[in-house]
Amino acid sequence: MALEGVMRPGHAQVRVLDLDASITFYRDVLGLVETGRDAQGRVYFKCWDERDHSSYILREAESAGIDFLGFKVRDEATLDAFEKKLADAGLDPVSVPAGDLLETGRRVQFTLPSGHLIELFATKTCVGNGIPTLNPGPWNEQSEKGIAPVRFDHALLYGPNIAEVKRIFIEVLGFYLVERVLGEDGSTEVALWLSCGQKVHDIAFVEYPEPGKLHHCSFLMDSWEKVLRAGDIMSQNTVSVDIGPTRHGITRGCTIYAWDPSGNRFETFQGGYYPYPDYEPLTWTWEAFPQGLDYPQRKLHETFLTVVT
Percent pLDDT > 90 in the chain is 88
**Residue 1 resides in a domain:** no
Q: How far is the C-alpha of 34 from the C-alpha of 56, rounded, in Å?
A: 9
Per-residue pLDDT of 96-113, as tens digits, reads 999 999 999 999 999 999
Q: Could you tell me whether strands 151-159 and 213-220 are parallel, antiparallel, or unpaired per DSSP bridges?
A: antiparallel
Neighbouring C-beta atoms of residue 41, cutoff 10 Å: 10
> Is there a single domain that holds both residue 253 and residue 167?
yes
Give the residue numbers spanning the domain of 92.
Answer: 6-126
Same structural domain, 225 and 266:
yes
In the structure, what pLDDT confidence band is assigned to residue 171 with cuts at 50, 70 and 90?
very high
Q: Which of the pair, 235 or 297, is modelled with greater confidence?
A: 235
106 and 248 together in one domain: no
The pLDDT assigned to 219 comes to 98
Residues 113 and 218 in one domain: no
Would 93 be classed as within a structural domain? yes
Q: What is the pLDDT of residues 37-72, one digit of tens each?
A: 999 999 999 999 999 999 999 999 999 999 999 999
In a domain, 256, yes or no: yes
Q: What is the CATH number of the domain that holds 65?
A: 3.10.180.10
Q: Which residue has the higher pLDDT, 308 or 143?
A: 308
Measure the CA–CA gap between 119 and 148, rounded to whole angstroms. Answer: 26
pLDDT of the residue at 141: 82
The answer to whether the predicted template modeling score (pTM) of the entire model surpasses 0.85 is yes
Write out pLDDT tens, residues 19-28: 999 999 999 9
| Residue 264 predicted with pLDDT over 90 | yes
Highest mean pLDDT among 136-150, 153-167, 282-296: 153-167
Domain end call among 126, 141, 168: 126
In a domain, 138, yes or no: no
Q: Active-site positions? A: 154, 201, 216, 248, 257, 267
Number of domains present in the structure of the chain: 2
Evaluate if residue 194 carries a pLDDT over 90.
Answer: yes
Q: Which residue has the higher pLDDT, 90 or 297?
A: 90
Looking at the fold, whether 121 and 182 belong to one and the same domain comes out as no
Confidence check: pLDDT of 1 > 60: no
**Of 82, 111, 126, which residue constitutes the final position of a domain?**
126
How high does pLDDT run on average in the chain? 95
Same domain, 221 and 80: no
* Residue 2, pLDDT score: 53
